[in-house]
Structure 1
Amino acid sequence: MKRRLFPLHTFLLTLLLLTACGAKPPQQVEYLPTASSNQAAVPTVASAPTTIPTNASSSTAQSASGTFTIDFSAETVGAAPTTFVPAVGYWIVGVDGDNPVLVVDGRQWSKGQPPANIAEQARALYGDKYAEFLDSVQAYAYYPFVVAKDVENFTDGEISVRFKPLVGNIDQNGGIVFGLQPNGDYYTIRASALEENLILWQVVQGQRSSLEWIRNTPTATGQWHELKVVINGTKVEGYLDGQLYLTHTFDAPLNGRVGLWSKADSTVYFDDFTVTPR
């Protein structure tokens, strides 16, 4: 009996029609291992001194100097992170080769949709004062970000992360959140692989405004980069791959929680999130 070729014919015809219409095939990014049959299912989630508790979670390490690092080595691949609280967007632990990383998958997230368990997550961050943060996130869920659980308040020092932009037709952004307040307002310095610029954003009630905008900052797609924020009183510096690009002076010293940031359809790997208080 001859095999029916109709399914292949249909596929080829569909592909030709899509090509004729100018449509692009979907970008493919594999960040979960597929060989293991027992792989965990992908979830549908979507001015005091710097305070870092001594009972930090198992995926973190704290040196004698106070440097605090999250490398995701003890996280469960295919699950939401335990070391970060996803406030907006789709965040999951994936792998880059054999190395566990944190992934923000912009293809899995729609604007204005915080995670289903955001109330529980907000309570974990701010205790009885979680309501204001929850209201802000639910009302202005525009930019994906996660909050480091074990850094309760950051004032002076350095925050750094390695990031690898993968895909995104609109954006390919990786950023560091700092000065996050209980009302949901924060600052972020972010790098863009598409635009090749470094920007300091202020986010108030979900609305961005740029405080510094630096062009010509090479950030290749598919390669690892290091982003670093240095805070000293009212002065903030932004570094990309070891080079100082951005400086800004605020009217008053900063404090608040810290985390990671992205935008729109960006799919980005993050690793080695490090906080060094001064």
Structure 2
Amino acid sequence: MQRRGLFGLVGLVLADRQAEAQSQRHRVDFEGAPLGAPPPGFSIALTGGGPPPRWVVLEDASAPAGPKVLAETSRDRTDNRFPLAMLNGVSARDAALSVRFRAIDGQVDQAAGLVLRYRDDRNYYVARANALENNVRLYRVVDGRRIQFAGIDVPVPRDRWQTLGLRAEGERFEVWLDGRALFSSTDWTFTNAGQVGVWTKADSLTHFDSFEVEALR
């Protein structure tokens, strides 16, 4: 009886740990969202100037997780304009983020970004891939001012699905593209937990799919 009781206790502990692990992972693929409407479960924000963002769920038959994707569709060309879609109910300091993206068009920019430790629309970290410039950059946004602290020039093909990844633990940041580690850096500007989300710039028309978040602690 004691052994069965012990095994039962171990089973409960393992189940609790599995439930906790599952609660630390979030995946959004937009398949349950209505077409043409803002993404449910997200808050819309804007850094910089220009009109309010217009994030909507669109249909894209090429999307890896199904035909529905998220895109910012206003196509406004204000250069200092950064629309954000922030996932509600998730806050993390140390986390691994990834998103599938397809850069479709944009004359000012063709950008896809991941946001971490978001305090408000003027303070956060963002890892950004740019298909127009063929580079990947890591920024801190402080009081609305975007400051690069790491990056690399690397091909970011237009009109092809790719995966951008960002991992942060303490002051250390790592950025990935299609499973390949591109660079790492350190920064201590934002040390508290904050929201996570996706980001773009100016007139970028970028499709997003399979947004994943794993809280590391």
Do the structures match in fold with TM over 0.5? yes
Q: Which has the higher strand share?
A: 2
1:212 to 132, 143, 150: 150
Residues 276 and 218 (structure 1), Cα distance of their counterparts in 2 relative to 1, 3 Å cut: same
Shift of 1:145: 1.0
- The residue matched to 2:159 in structure 1 has which SS? coil
1:165 to 103, 118, 127: 103
Question: Retained in 1: the 8 A contact 2:27–2:211?
Answer: yes
Counterpart Cα distance in 2 of 1:183 and 1:210: 17
Partner amino acid, structure 2, of 1:173: A
| Regions of 4+ moved over 2 Å | 62-66, 109-112, 251-255
1:227 to 147, 164, 171: 164
Counterpart Cα distance in 1 of 2:30 and 2:155: 27
Task: Determine if the alignment matches structure 1 residue 91 to structure 2 residue 55.
Answer: yes
Q: Which has the higher helix share?
A: 1
RMSD across aligned positions (CA):
2.1
Q: Which residue of 1 aligns with 2:89?
A: 150
Scaled by the length of structure 1, the TM-score of the pair is 0.63
Instruction: Point out where structure 1 has 5 or more consecutive residues left out of the alignment.
Output: 1-61, 113-140
Scaled by the length of structure 2, the TM-score of the pair is 0.79
Task: Determine if the alignment matches structure 1 residue 71 to structure 2 residue 29.
Answer: yes
1:130-186 CA-partner distances (Å, limit 9, x unpaired): xxxxxxxxxxx83111111121x2111201100000000111000001111147311
Counterpart Cα distance in 2 of 1:265 and 1:76: 23
Shift of 1:232: 1.4
Say how many residue pairs are matched. 186
Counterpart Cα distance in 1 of 2:120 and 2:200: 20
Question: Retained in 2: the 8 A contact 1:70–1:83?
Answer: no
Question: Retained in 1: the 8 A contact 2:70–2:208?
Answer: yes
Counterpart Cα distance in 2 of 1:261 and 1:157: 17
Percentage identity across paired residues of the two chains: 33
The 5-angstrom pairing of residues 42-61 of structure 1 reads none
Question: Retained in 2: the 8 A contact 1:142–1:206?
Answer: no
Partner amino acid, structure 2, of 1:251: W
Instruction: Point out where structure 2 has 5 or more consecutive residues left out of the alignment.
Output: 1-19, 47-52
Question: Retained in 1: the 8 A contact 2:44–2:84?
Answer: yes
Counterpart Cα distance in 2 of 1:74 and 1:166: 23
